[in-house]
Amino acid sequence: MLTYWHLALLLLYAVRTALAIGQQSCATFSPSPQTFSIVSNGKATPILLSADDWPGVQRAAFDFASDIQAVAGVKPSLRNVTANSTLNIPLAIVVGTLGKSSLVDQVVSHAKLDVSSIQGSWEAFIAREVKNPLPGVESAYVVIGADKRGSIFALYDHSEQFGQSPWNWWADVPANKHSEVFVLSSGCSHGSPVVKYRGIFLNDEQPALQNWAMEKFTNGTGAPLTGSPFNHFFYTKLFELILRLKGNYLWPAIWSSAFAVDDPESQVLADWYGIVMGTSHEEPMMRSTPIEWNLFGQGAWNYTTNRQNVTEFWTVGAERAKNFENIFTLGMRGLGDLPLSPTMDIPGLEAVIAGQRQILSSVFNTSDVTNISQMWCLYKEVQGYYEAGMQVPDDVTLLWTDDNWGNIRRFPIVSERNRTGGAGIYYHVDYVGDPRDYKWITSSQVAKIWEQMSLAVDRNATRIWILNVGDLKPYEMSTEFFLTLGWNSSIWNRNNIDSFVNAWAKREFQLSATDTQEITELIFNVTRFNDRRKPELLNSTTYSLVNYREAENALDLLENMSKASARLYSSISPEKKAAFFQLVQHPIQATYTLANMWISAGINNLRASQARLSANNYANQTEALFDQDYDLEVEYHQLLNGKWDHMMDQTHVMYYYWQQPQANTLPLITKVQARKQALPGPMRVALENSLGAWPGDNPNDCAQGYSCPTPVITFDRFAPFGNVFIDIGAGGPNSFTFTATSNATWLKLSPSKGSISPQNPETRVFASVDWNEVPDLGYAQISLAAMATNQPMETQDIIFIANHTSVPSNFTGFVEGDGGISIEAAHASRNTTIDGITWAVLPNHGRISSAVSPFPRGGNEQNFTAGSGPSLEYDFYSFNTIQGNGNVSVTSFVSPTLNANGDDRPVGFAVSIDSGGPQTNYFIPAAIPGNLPDAWDGLDGFAANNIVYVNNTFSVAPGAHTLKIWMVEPTVILQKVVIDTGGVRPSYLGPPESIRL
């Protein structure tokens, strides 16, 4: 089975046939004896349906015919026929649902088709050519669904392969035109999806989605009772998208909406389309809460004191939904998605659920409610009730949740995996809440979604997957990935996630392999950048402005991405521009603009504190970028004559607390008086790795802030950048020329002279060393001199110490440079395999290019005592210890994986150096059940940083050593290790990787 699927996946690349992501491919665009014509010679093969099939299948067949027309320019006819119809046609496409379409049942019996592979299988389908399927038809391509959605998914699956993207309407991806379309006679098939209910949750939908929908789907006033714009015109567009993505489940918008009240047609149409409706974790019994309760509820939202009224309220929800496909949310939270009152205890909540099942029993007139789909979502504090022993009936699906930041809080443990109701996952790519909202643009890595959700598959949480997609639009690809993974997780693994993004880019834009690969990398880079820290959490000093060239390097990468995207955008054909803008260009330019704006503001603040005139340029640049940020929003809104007006309404600049600001406001900037010279003279000198500036007093020059000693630059042989810089800048309006000289032949300064003026207010002088000429330790003096008209010469000396470190010629591994040793986790010297488990690379996961985690993870949750499990070894060479005290400090950068294997099995790993004993780290502190540890929250917490820094101290003499990382518990993800030998400075990402010999 696996090899077969891999083969199918390879076909996506090998053959210029159909492109459909993660599916078996059966469409082709040139005929052969093994193909069946859908469109050829300008003629479309007619589609035959049966009047007694599901109306939702009939409806999807209309889409299918329109898709064929969009691709091939000819629309096939659609006809209801019966076995008795007089037909005299050579070819037909027969579509229908097994056991429902009398036509399909007739074909099955007439042609003696074997349908056992799909019979009774949830959402499965087969399709293939059948000769003489019916009297009067020579040959037909027969598309058979095992049930309603099996037929619908079969049709949309073929549409996608023919060239119609699921995002044709929602992201304006044009159909990929082919004058002729064929299918392989052997056809396509699909068994039941891995995850039974695969859905999305529209949430946090104000301002963007709601304002947009108000303009596009109403005449300016929303629903009478709620003002909601989300009526059936809106929802039918959404239902179609969900089905095209092979999803089947929806939690509707709730902020000021009530799905079944806002437009009574919506609920009927959902069922007609084939969408299973639910309500969110906080809305029991198919009623929007608190909206509907506030409108119709009597008394307090309290099951203990107001049981009669609450019961009647829920009964209405059940009655109203009774005739449709639903999953009933059980349980109860406080109004407004808040915890229930502290007085709500376990027996109280058990009584709520018993009462709700009683309602189902009477509404559905059955004593057995176990066949009615029900779900209890263990969101936030609700999980605490469960962990404290609350009992829920076995047939109720337990919906586990993430921490709202993509880290699943708990997976079913072995003893929980055999419940008849199974388990599911509620996951987020958008969130409103602590430590700060993130709901502007795409910021989740697909490699991380894969890592968490594939673990959910391993641990049997496959009954329901629901993704909080916020306003939907900015998260097109992540949404598709989530649903695609749920459809068939078996074809995706840690090593082929890039092929998903590549296939997605190819399907949407149909560019050359090189350009498609470039888009793939752009998507990985932009989501990596935004997942390091959500755009909403950036500030002017997130990235270090002085250490490790961190801010500059971040900007360089973003600038390159911006240029690459702009080049593709300008060259892509006009009909694809709107799609490219929404899916690639906007997220990249918006990300670059915002980051550049924040970093410019930071540089402005720093330069001003250093009395440097160039601060003013950064002030102007910050303002320009603040405007450019809005220009990008306007450009999005003006696409296609305003089709997506308001979709980028989300504010995202300057937060005063966790909630969205009511307007974007300019980051704080300042200016230096440009007409007056700084007190020490026309020249300002600033050094890499320092916030200080010379000459003159500055608290960053030395601790006491005045009479500071001559500044010192220390530089060593293995510093990763190979040079260090000195900025010469204007300290006011007066132009000057400068010289930079040293008293050592081994020290090179480049440039060694220059001119500074208000028009050219700074020059960067790089210092580099010819190590062949330096003894163990080289001392030099750098002299800077500035000459301005009618002023005395201004000078500044700098002491330069060159540390000629060296390692034995036979050493291989990472070498200390610039104060420490920094190692990307994937770059181990060796690793070991124990019991078949080994630390394996997770490409595109985390802050840098990859991470490592023990694989296979399996379901058995195997663990090891420290020092006995699979290990990673990193050889390194050190020259120093912290303040010469014999110690080094090791910081492991681990992903914020939570204690999801149960309270008694916290995540952990161990670290050792050489043959010393391993130090074990359980890095997620225990928390009250249902809560997260304190260290998770806050602007410097695990969630905001999207990393946990784990520190260990070791006594290690300078020399060659081996650092070992040991598996203790499964699912730990290591991204990077930094060994501080005394000189590691503050930064967001840690020092760049050390030189490896």
Binding site for ligand NAG (CB under 6 A): 49, 51, 58, 78-80
**If DSSP states are collapsed to H, E and C, what string results for 730-786?**
ECCCCCEEEEEEECCCCEEEECCEEEEECCECEEEEEEEECHHHCCCEEEEEEEEEE
Looking at beta carbons only, is 48 or 597 nearer to ligand NAG?
Answer: 48
Structure tokens given for 187: 């056809």
CB of 26 to ligand NAG, least distance (A): 24
Q: In the bound complex, what is the minimum distance in angstroms from residue 151's beta carbon to ligand NAG? A: 14
Supply the minimum distance, in Å, between the C-beta of residue 47 and ligand NAG: 8
> Quick check: helix, strand or coil at residue 360?
helix
Residue 79 or 804 having the CB closest to ligand NAG: 79
Of 539, 557, 763, the closest CA to residue 669 belongs to: 539
What is the CA angle 423-426-431, rounded to 5? 170
Q: For residues 188 and 26, is the Cβ–Cβ distance under 8 A?
A: yes
Please choose, from the candidates 533, 549, 557, 619, the residue with its C-alpha nearest in 3D space to the C-alpha of residue 846: 533
CA angle 932–933–938, rounded 5-degree value: 95
| Closest distance of CB 244 from ligand NAG, Å | 20
Closest CA to 446 of 412, 480, 420: 480
Task: Report the nearest approach of ligand NAG to the CB of residue 61 (Å).
Answer: 7
d(CA 832, CA 572): 48
Taking CA atoms, 135 is separated from 86, 274, 339, 591, in Å, by 8, 32, 64, 61
Residue (96 or 695) nearer to ligand NAG, CB: 96
User: Do residues 853 and 839 make contact, with C-beta atoms less than 8 angstroms apart?
Assistant: yes
CB-wise, 20 or 48, nearer to ligand NAG? 48
State in angstroms the smallest separation of the CB of 218 from ligand NAG: 28
Cα dihedral: 31, 34, 39, 43 (round 10) = 90
| 759 vs 765: CA distance, rounded Å | 18
The CB-of-142 to ligand NAG minimum distance in angstroms stands at 17
Tokens of 245: 């993505």
The full DSSP string for 871-928 is EEEEEEEE---GGGSSEEEEEEEE-----TT-TTS---EEEEETTSPPEEE--S---S
Neighbours of 401 (CB within 10 A): 22
Rank residues 7 and 51 by Cβ distance to ligand NAG and give the closer one: 51
Instruction: Tell me the C-alpha distance between 20 and 491, whole Å.
Output: 13
C-beta of 265 vs 387, nearer to ligand NAG: 265
Q: Which is nearer to ligand NAG, 79 or 110 (CB)?
A: 79
Q: Which is nearer to ligand NAG, 51 or 793 (CB)?
A: 51
Nearer to ligand NAG, 86 or 415 (CB): 86
Tokens representing 611 are 């009395």
SS3 of 625-672: the string is HHHHHHHHHHHHHHHHHHCCCCCCCCCCCCCCCCCCCCCCCCCCCCCC
Report in angstroms how near the CB of residue 56 gets to ligand NAG at its nearest: 11
Q: Count CA atoms closer than 13 A to 900's CA, side-chain side.
A: 26
Q: Of 270 and 511, which CB lies nearer to ligand NAG in the complex structure?
A: 270
* Residue 589 DSSP SS3: helix
916 token code pair: 């010393």
Rg (CA), the chain: 32
Indicate the residue among 78 and 346 with the shorter CB distance to ligand NAG. 78
Residue closer to ligand NAG (CB basis): 79 or 905: 79
Cβ burial, residue 703 (10 Å; 0-12/13-18/19+): exposed
Q: How far is the CB of 248 from ligand NAG (least distance, A)?
A: 22
Considering the complex, state which of residue 65 and residue 989 has its C-beta at the smaller distance from ligand NAG: 65
The distance of closest approach from Cβ of residue 270 to ligand NAG in the complex, given in angstroms and rounded to an integer, is 18
Nearest to 430 by CA among 471, 399, 476, 400: 471
* C-beta contacts of 852-856 below 8 A and 24+ residues apart: 852/825, 852/826, 852/828, 852/973, 852/974, 853/451, 853/971, 853/972, 853/973, 853/974, 854/967, 854/970, 854/971, 854/972, 855/494
Alpha helices by DSSP H, 533-585: 550-571, 574-580
Identity of the residue, 79 or 417, whose beta carbon is nearer to ligand NAG in the bound complex? 79
In angstroms, give the least distance from the CB of 62 to ligand NAG: 8
CB of 144 to ligand NAG, least distance (A): 18
To ligand NAG, the closest distance from the beta carbon of 78 in angstroms equals: 4
Task: Provide the minimum distance between the beta carbon of 895 and ligand NAG in the complex, in angstroms, as a whole number.
Answer: 51
Q: Which is nearer to ligand NAG, 56 or 711 (CB)?
A: 56
Q: What is the token pair recorded at 941? A: 């917490």
Task: Outline where DSSP puts E strands in 269-412.
Answer: 276-277, 328-330, 374-377, 397-401
* Residue 488 backbone zone (phi > 0: left; psi -120 to 50: alpha; other: beta): beta
How far apart are CB 48 and ligand NAG at their closest, in Å?
9
CB of 85 to ligand NAG, least distance (A): 12
The least CB distance from residue 166 to ligand NAG, in Å, is 23
Among 262, 265, 266, which residue's Cα sits nearest to residue 225?
262
Q: How far is the CB of 182 from ligand NAG (least distance, A)?
A: 23
Nearest CB to ligand NAG, comparing residues 51 and 679: 51
Kindly list the distances between the CA atom of residue 685 and the CA atoms of 360, 695, 798, in Å, as whole numbers in the listed order: 76, 7, 10
Separation of alpha carbons 186 and 272, rounded Å: 31
- 80 vs 186, beta carbon nearer ligand NAG: 80
| Among 127, 114, 122, 134, CA closest to 27 | 127
Rounded to an integer, what is the distance from CA 692 to the centroid of its chain?
Answer: 38
Run of H or E residues at 92: strand 89-97
Choose between 134 and 377: whose C-beta lies nearer to ligand NAG: 134
